[in-house]
Amino acid sequence: MEQFETALPEQYESLKKQANYTSSWRERLEAVTMLSAYKHDKIIDLLKNRMQHDTVSKVQIAAYEALVAFGEDVEKPSPARFDIIKGTDKIFLRVKKSLPKDHTVEDFADKLKRMRIDVFDAYEGDKGAQFMNWLEERWAKL
């Protein structure tokens, strides 16, 4: 049986902040990974929140696996079937309208990153290597 630290880590407050950092799924994943060595009620609550509410499935799964390792009775999160962020098309349309008519998908991606890093980051984390292809398809349909 795995042994876990039962006290809160010294850096708990900063890891908690990092775990909820909306503009970087990589930062959230790192925080979840670091916190999964500590079996404490506050951490279990935080991991349950990430498992249920994170926009990126990699982060949700990491939180789920940590909770299972702690012996928590949790249901594996199912991947979002539709948009992981509500109103994605409206957001994309707003970005597209803010650009000149002859802009490229790269211009679009760049502007999206500047206007809505949270949206850019969530989909980039969710789609992985397919992100730019996916974004170009969405952009072309707008």
| pTM tops 0.95 | no
Give pLDDT < 70 ranges for the chain.
1-2
Q: What is the pLDDT of residue 82?
A: 82
Closest of 95, 99, 80, 85 to residue 23, by C-alpha: 85
Structure confidence at residue 2 (pLDDT): 65
Spatial distance between the Cα atoms of 17 and 15, rounded to a whole number of angstroms: 5
- Residue 81 has a pLDDT of 78
Q: Is the separation of the CB atoms in 128 and 25 below 8 Å?
A: no
The rounded distance, in Å, linking the Cα atoms of 47 and 72 is: 11
